[in-house]
Chains A and B, each alone.
Chain A
Amino acid sequence: MASLSSKRVYRTVALGAITALAVIAIAPFFMDIYTTNILIRAFYLAALVMTVDILWGYTGILTFGQSAFFGIGAYACALVFTHYGFGPLWAIGALAIGILAALAVAAIVGWLAFYHGASPLYASIITLALPIVLVQLIFAGGRWTGSSSGLSAFPTYYWSTETWFWIAGAYLVLVTSLGFLLVRSDFGRILVAIRENEERAAYLGIPISRIKTGLMMASGAVGAAAGFGYAAFTNVVAPELGDFLLGTELLIWTALGGRGTLIGPVLGAIGIDVTASYLSGTLPFLWKLLTGIAFVVVIVLLPRGLAPILGQAIGFVIPPLRRKPPQSAELVPADWRPIAASFDAPPLKIDELICQYGSLRVLTGVNATVKGGELLSIVGPNGAGKTTLMRCVSDGSERTAGRVYVQGVEIGRGAPQSIVALGVGRSFQNTNLFDTLTVAECLMLARYGVDGAPMFARRAEIRMPEPALDIMRATGLDKVLATETGSLSHGMKRGLELAMVLATEPSVLLLDEPTAGLTKAERTAIGHTLKRLTDEYGLAVVLIEHDLDFVREISSRIVVLHQGSVLMEGTVEEVVNSELVRAVYSGEQVEAVA
């Protein structure tokens, strides 16, 4: 099902790869040995830098530790060849050991750094600790690792420089092409979504921790293989191949080259490393100072690095090379049959829910049950705990005590994506979407839980359930699929928000003020869709709403929340006519005036 845009990406990558390979094939015949040697080393480092760009530039994981994987691969080569044996089988074995060790270490780092709720700062510090710990272990390894002196002159393949150049070049082209396909694929859009708004992505059912850990492992393996090649070629390993200074240099190269462009950091790494080889010999301290200044300036003033500027300049001179806007995928209806509500378990049951921040009790024992086909509205003054209630239902780590059951399953301490997997869909109060993604890409994200996302391809079609399509049509979104969401109108953003939640095919829908700031017509359309969801699809819908008229039109039941507990529960009529509720609302108004 390769789409047009997929084909275009394949063609670009194939063309780029073939050109690069051709240049690499003939280059050694035009260069002296010195330059060739420098380039071989630079190629391996560039492959490592590419992984930094995927992690940091695309996914937003600021990693200081990518050098550690390079070091692991390099030491696997040196240790096996020095102490155990040398030969084709030993070489393959050493490479396998290096890659496996890198995978294992990356998995541990992932477990430590990417758990649900970990701050990006914490993850960065963990990646910073990784090379520090690794280097300390190498130092403590005594004769076995060669300690500070490293290992050198172990047996290796004394192939000609050209051969090594071709191997290193081919490896770089291979991993860069794969990297390019990855970031241009549907899966690549998911990485960008994680960078732009991790919380939102989690609530769309995207398994953030798993994706980040997997990415870390893949990057680790690519880095370890590069390190292996580096060690086999240079015949030397030293602790500095895995240390944190190299890790930060990788970031500097990525930033200068242009993060999130892949080709920028790769060329940046090669360019800077080669320049350093010629210049740093004569200007050792000054060179480092200038790099430092350039780095600060680029981070502060040119966060996208130098590549986009160069790219634009080239595009300006040679118009055909200008980036064309990506072709958008088309929407096709998906067959949506929500899980039929089981008889003994209601879709959503909340049992004695308590939520407390420090000494402040926001929810003090809330009970509620929502049946399939029912629309439960929660009303109450500001600060009553409505949004907190939603948060506690959709994220297992939020509540202090009590139980929440979805389709009869207790949510435990599950992260948002695991609760989404149970069938809960949640929309947010603010319209904080993924600004650099297009409408179609946002919908594709939302379908990740149902349809997945190919790693190295783009799909031509996005399957959408009928109610989501209704919303799209009602808000005019179906005509702007290729538009970046940052430039949508408020109403369209609200509509997209709702369409995305529906695209996850939830059986329980949590909506936090979905109609705030909308026109009357838009509100009516949304009300109509909600009715259809409950009546035709049997969804259980929980709605937070201030607009009592809207509530009255579509609700089956209403819960009034006040100061963290359920003040009243009943039918629309009962609640609307209640003196108590009126008192609460007028009380709020008095407070608001004061």
Chain B
Amino acid sequence: MKRSVFLSLLLSVTATAALAQDPIKIGIPVGLSGANSVVAPSVVQSAELAAEEINAEGGILGRPVELIVADDGSGAQGAQRAFDSLVFREGVDVLISMETSAARNAGLPIVNRGRVPYIYTSFYEGKSCSPWMYVNAWVPEQQVAPIVDHFMKEFGAKTYFLIGSDYAFGRGMLEFTRQYVEDSGGEIVGEEYLPMDGSDWTAIISKLKAANPDALITSTAGGAPNVTLTKQLRAAGVSIPYGNLAVDEGTAKSMGADANGIFIAASYVTGIDSEENKTFLDAMKAKFDGDLNTPNDLSVPQYEAVYLYKAAVEKAGSTDPQAVIDALSEVSFTGPRGTVQMNKQRHAPLTMYLGQVQEDGSVEVIQSFANVDPGDQCPQLAN
């Protein structure tokens, strides 16, 4: 991981006559330390691949692309430093990053002040709006429906129990889930939260067992809370249909038998059967070989966002911030996740995949849902 960061910091890419020109600087504030440090290397890697590919093809408008990575410590204070440094010291042309919501919120005022286009590439709880920001990852409206629909149809599940970590994402996801379940004719028989650093789910699990619901949907913080909850659920012998809104393919794999049978919904899984995905995975393997961090639902949008920015600059004909912002909603890119265009109030309709974790930890895609709409995220920014 250290090495890839180092490489990316020194990444002034070779080749072509484009080198004669000033590079287009892409700032990547990302959580190299802190909570996001597990996923951050994969995000940086996918951005590096995109930059290398673009430079090999002659760059953007003949200018090479340069990536500048800065650690945001996965939190607000670190993000302020990272955004400050990228916007005011490095003078980047665009910010493209996967971050925690706290880091994104901390960065937004700096983005507004510095007037820099910003593409946010992490799924999140929704409804974050700024004239300078676009989002190409999923929001609750897109992720919850496949799981709940499947539970209702396949298992006839009527009563649901919701468990989450007490933070913006956990609450945001479950708030939407509650509404969706109730609108679909189901019933919520319990909704419980544990503080983010909590690890003892005993009381909540006892309540779950007492409520005896048809299905369980959880939305915890990634990493430890997700793992402790799943382990303790299994230890307590809970075996009802279990949809997890926060688990990704990689974590599921490492959890092994405990994750067996969990349902997940994502806009990207490695098993997507398309030419673009195959090409992408091969290119990643070729570039990073043994150091490869498995691509995932957070790193692939990062890859695609670099291309979306390229398309917008080419459409606008310059890197002028306002022109790029105007163009971003009009361009699309067909990548590993299919064709993505951020034309719904700064968010993007996405193809979502419903998967189930298998005994060996792999995720089997059960069903896909094309062009799931993100709903009303930023009505005041309608374009």
Chain A interfacial positions (CB closer than 8 Å to B): 32-34, 37-38, 41, 136, 139-140, 142, 146-153, 158, 234-241, 276-277, 280-282, 284-285, 288
Contact = CB atoms under 8 A, between A and B. Distances in A.
Interface string B1-44: 00001000100000000000000000000001100010000000
B101 A148 contact: yes
B112 A150 contact: no
A30 to B, nearest CB: 16
Contact of A284 (B33, B104, B113, B171): B33
Interface stretch (B58-66, B76-84, B244-252, B346-354): B76-84
Given A147-B168, A240-B77, 20 more contacts: A33-B88, A33-B89, A37-B84, A41-B77, A139-B196, A148-B168, A148-B169, A149-B101, A149-B104, A149-B167, A150-B106, A151-B105, A153-B112, A153-B130, A236-B106, A281-B82, A282-B71, A284-B33, A284-B37, A288-B33
15 contacts: A32-B89, A34-B85, A38-B84, A41-B80, A136-B195, A148-B101, A148-B196, A152-B108, A153-B130, A235-B109, A238-B75, A241-B77, A280-B33, A284-B32, A284-B73
B70 interface: yes
A142 B166 CA distance: 9
Contacts of A152: 105-106, 108-109
Interface string B150-178: 00000000000000001111010000000
B56 interface: no
B189 interface: no
B381 interface: no
B88 A234 contact: no
Interface residues of B, number: 38
Interface of B: 5, 9, 32-33, 37, 70-71, 73, 75-78, 80-82, 84-85, 88-89, 100-102, 104-106, 108-109, 112-113, 125, 130, 166-169, 171, 195-196
A150 B76 contact: yes
Give the interface SS of chain B, mostly helix, strand, loop or mixed: helix
Contacts, number: 104
B179 to A, nearest CB: 15
Contacts of B105: 146, 149-153, 236, 238
B18 to A, nearest CB: 27
A239 B102 CA distance: 9
A152 B73 CA distance: 18
B167 A37 contact: no
Given A240-B77, A281-B82, A234 B196 contact: no
Nearest to A146: B168
Given A238-B106, A282-B9, A37 B101 contact: no
Contacts of B5: 282
Contacts of A136: 195
Contacts of B76: 150, 236-238, 240-241
B78 to A, nearest CB: 8
A234 B109 CA distance: 7
B108 A147 contact: no
Contacts of B168: 146-149
A136 B166 CA distance: 9
A282 B32 CA distance: 9
A148 B102 contact: yes
B75 A240 contact: yes
A150 B102 contact: yes
Given A34-B88, A139-B195, A236 B71 contact: no
B49 to A, nearest CB: 22
Nearest to A152: B105
Contacts of A285: 33
A393 B232 CA distance: 57
A280 B73 contact: yes
A34 to B, nearest CB: 4
A505 B169 CA distance: 65
B171 A142 contact: yes
B102 A238 contact: yes
B71 A280 contact: yes
Contact of A153 (B80, B84, B108, B167): B108
B171 A147 contact: yes
A531 B245 CA distance: 85
A364 B286 CA distance: 88
Contact of B84 (A34, A140, A238, A239): A34
Given A136-B195, A152-B106, A153-B109, A284 B167 contact: no
A147 B219 CA distance: 15
Contacts of A284: 32-33, 37, 71, 73
A32 B5 CA distance: 26
Closest 4 CB pairs of A and B: A238-B76, A148-B167, A284-B33, A235-B109
A236 B85 contact: no
Contacts of B77: 41, 238, 240-241
Contacts of A41: 77, 80
Nearest to B106: A236
A281 B106 contact: no
Contact of A281 (B71, B108, B113, B196): B71
Contacts of B102: 148-150, 238-240
Given A148-B102, A148-B196, A150-B102, A277 B85 contact: yes
Nearest to A245: B75
Given A34-B88, A153-B109, A288-B33, A236 B101 contact: no
Contacts of B100: 148-149
A585 to B, nearest CB: 63
B55 to A, nearest CB: 23
A529 to B, nearest CB: 62
Contacts of B71: 280-282, 284
A288 B78 CA distance: 13
A152 B30 CA distance: 18
A149 B169 CA distance: 8
A570 to B, nearest CB: 68
A139 B89 CA distance: 33
Nearest to B128: A149
Nearest to B9: A282
A303 B185 CA distance: 66
Given A38-B84, A150-B76, A139 B113 contact: no
Contacts of A151: 105
